Structure 1
Amino acid sequence: MNRVSDIDLRLLRVFVVVVESEGFAAAESVLNVSTSTISLHIGNLESRLGIRLCERGRRGFSLTERGKVVFEETKRLLKTIDDFSGIVASTKSLLAGRLVVGMVDALTAHADFPLAEAIREFNKVKNEVEFDLIVGTRQSLERDVLSGQIHAALGPFKRDSDALNVTPLFYEPHDLYCGEGHPLFGATINDVKNVDFTQYATIQRPYHRGFSVEHFDAVREGGAVNSMEGMLTMLLSGGYLGFLPRHFAKPWEQQGKLYAVDRVSMTYVSEHAVITKKGARESIALNPFVAALKKVATLRRREDG
């Protein structure tokens, strides 16, 4: 492939969907074409590139090493094209292009989570912006913002960063929970005052291995999760302790399926922020979107205060 043509771009977009869907079959519903057609497209792309991008067969779908490189570079290329479309549209005084925004999971039920209202505020101005919303871990979202694969991300990001603009938005209280059937379910503050927590298995977060140790002198690891949904599932089994956002746990707590252990001393608050990359060539829609986030967050803080 000497030059990238329109056909190449269409095939590359199919390739990205297949990889993100983790296979041809799963990509059918997204692309609205048959598996055989998808296979033909990927075969054509491999022929045009002169390399094998992926393995497919009885062992399942997987990228080759070269395929991984092409996938990452394709995402950068398509983002650049989308940003260019937005810049061209801006010359006609119209916001356009694609805006890729990431967020950590289990935030939607938080009363101060500003994203939905900020999008509503953003859309009050006539635009042709396409939003892509991605849910990921804090680490993966930060990495994707730094690499330029996404424009902005919302989550518990730290303020001190030489490479990122970090704008605080809202706070999220977390409590230590256990599920129905756990020995500490229903225990009072006095009951747990001198408890040796090492006798109880605690679910860890791989992206923050020292987290539980910060709240206990020592812990007995009982497993690991990389999402709040995963943590909730493990706690509902009744065999573990773990931290959850208070707003996320509330419905199950009200049903008597979760219990907050010592809400006085086992509570912490995380600060959530929106991050963007410093010095990046921004999507034309990014600044108005971040401004809408800040506006909504500020109004909600005033209402709470």
Structure 2
Amino acid sequence: MDIDLRLLRVFVAVAEGGGYTAAQSTLNISSSTISLHMSDLEKRIGFRLCERGRHGFSLTERGKVAYDEIRRILGSLDDFTGRMAELRKRLAGKLHLGMVDCLSTHPNFPLVTVIRRFNELDNDVHIELAVAPRADIERAVLGGHLHAGIVPFIRTINGLDFRPVLRERHQLFCGVGHPLFGLGESSVPAHEITEHDFVLRAYTEQFDLSRFPRARASATVFSMEAMLILLLSGGYLGLLPDHVAREWVDRGKLSRVPSDDFEYDSRHMLITSTSAKSPAAINVFLSILDETIAGTGSAQTMTG
């Protein structure tokens, strides 16, 4: 069917915004206009894409499949635009990137420098940068929705290439009012730590459960920001990257709980698809990334 691309983009905005209201600001059109566009698209496709009602907004099962296919189609069109620009010897198209949250304060985080150097080149590239959980970024890169993403390394995955980016030290912290707050540098025994409430990270749940099997998990978070809030409440122990905690430690709001048993290094990688044909923009971006990491020496710290 000859479906208007504008209607497809409206549907993507609605699906990603979780409803018509959220899509209004993205599309800069009214909710009633969005409704007309969605109705037109559903008539052309021949089935319902979403449900709206007292229970809220949700995609139908076929709507979920349609969303993935439409994202793939629109991504291919963006790559087509970039390839045509390549024939004119100019970088263009879209560069879809993803990363997990709370990396910007890491002293070796390369993305700011890489994007700055990339934008110093003569180009017409539109960069989209999404912050999302690790598993979502992995799926998006595998599915062709993202060209690349920075994630903590958990395991190798068929279909993905991994480039070392940085190493992140995770340590145990608590907030003001916690019994273990402000103990100094004397190591706290593991059995004493496990007597207190521990925050489980949903995005590394199996890792936490295997590494700290005796810890009393009484709260769960889905992001570093959520972890920080719970720790600042003074009622929990939890792991944070040292660069995220540093500001709050300096302000006297967080305190490190010294224990070798509850500390570890997390390796972060930039992932790309092994099967997708890479547009010129991502190849240039990766080249700049490799040069930046080599220049800071952070690549050497990843080999241990």
Q: TM-score normalised to the size of structure 2?
A: 0.93
Deviates most, 166-175 or 151-160: 151-160
The one-character-per-residue Cα deviations of 1:196-222 (angstroms, maximum 9, x if unpaired) are 333211111122223334554511111
Where does 1:193-212 land on structure 2 (aligned, <5 Å)?
A: 193=189, 195-212=191-208
Q: Which aligned pairs between 1:162-177 and structure 2 lie closer than 5 A?
A: 162-177=158-173
- Deviation of 1:159 after TM superposition, in Å, equals 7.0
Tell me whether 1:180 sits opposite 2:186 in the alignment: no
Asked if 1 retains the 8 angstrom alpha-carbon contact of 2:14 and 2:23, the reply is: yes
Deviates more, 1:256-265 or 1:295-304: 295-304
Q: Structure 1: how far apart are the matches of 2:209 and 2:26?
A: 43
Correspondence for 2:129 among 103, 126, 133: 133
Counterpart residue number, 2:296: 300
Contact 1:212–1:219 (8 Å) recurs in 2? no
Name the counterpart of 1:24.
20
Post-superposition offset of 1:188: 3.8
Change (3 A) 1:248 1:192: same
Q: Which moved more, 1:207-216 or 1:169-178?
A: 207-216
CA contact (8 A) 1:168 1:273 kept: yes
Shift of residue 249, structure 1, vs aligned partner: 1.0
Report the Cα distance in structure 2 between the residues aligned to 1:304 and 1:71, rounded to whole angstroms: 41
Match of 1:154 in 2: 150
| Matched letter for residue 169 of structure 1 | V
SS of equivalent residue, structure 2 residue 280: coil
CA contact (8 A) 1:185 1:259 kept: yes
Task: Determine helix, strand or coil for the equivalent of 1:125.
Answer: coil
Give runs of aligned pairs for residues 210-225 of structure 1, distance below 5 A: 210-216=206-212, 218-225=214-221
State the partner residue of 2:242: 246
Q: Spell out the pairing of 1:4-23 with structure 2 (5 A cutoff).
A: 4=3, 8-23=4-19
| Corresponding letter in the other structure for 2:140 | D
- Residue 80 of structure 2 corresponds to which residue in structure 1? 84
- Worse overlay, 86-95 or 139-148: 139-148
1:39 aligns to 2:38 (yes or no)? no
Q: Give SS of 1:105's match.
A: coil
1:60 aligns with 2:56: yes
**Cα deviations by residue, 1:119-174 (Å, 9 ceiling, x for unpaired):** 11112221111111111111111111111111100121257444221110111111
Structure 1 range deviating more: 285-294 or 159-168: 159-168
- In structure 2, the residue matched to 1:3 is 2
The question of whether the paired residues in 1 share the 8 Å contact of 2:175 and 2:181 is answered with yes
The 5-angstrom pairing of residues 258-269 of structure 1 reads 258-262=254-258, 266-269=262-265
What is the CA–CA distance in structure 2 between the aligned matches of 1:116 and 1:188, rounded to whole Å?
35
**8 A Cα contact 1:158 1:166, kept in partner:** no
Contact 2:97–2:127 (CA under 8 A) maintained in structure 1: yes
How many pairs are equivalent? 301
Report whether the alignment pairs 1:291 with 2:291. no
Given the superposition, is the C-alpha separation of residues 28 and 89 from structure 1 closer, same or farther in structure 2, using an over 3 Å criterion?
same
How far apart, CA to CA, are the structure 1 residues paired with 2:83 and 2:190?
Answer: 62
Q: TM-score, normalised by structure 1?
A: 0.92
TM-aligned CA distance change 1:96 to 1:280, over 3 Å = same
Whether the aligned pair in 1 keeps the contact of 2:188 and 2:259 (CA below 8 Å) is: no
Distance in 2 of aligned mates of 1:235 and 1:119: 33
Structure 1 gap segments, 5+ residues each: none
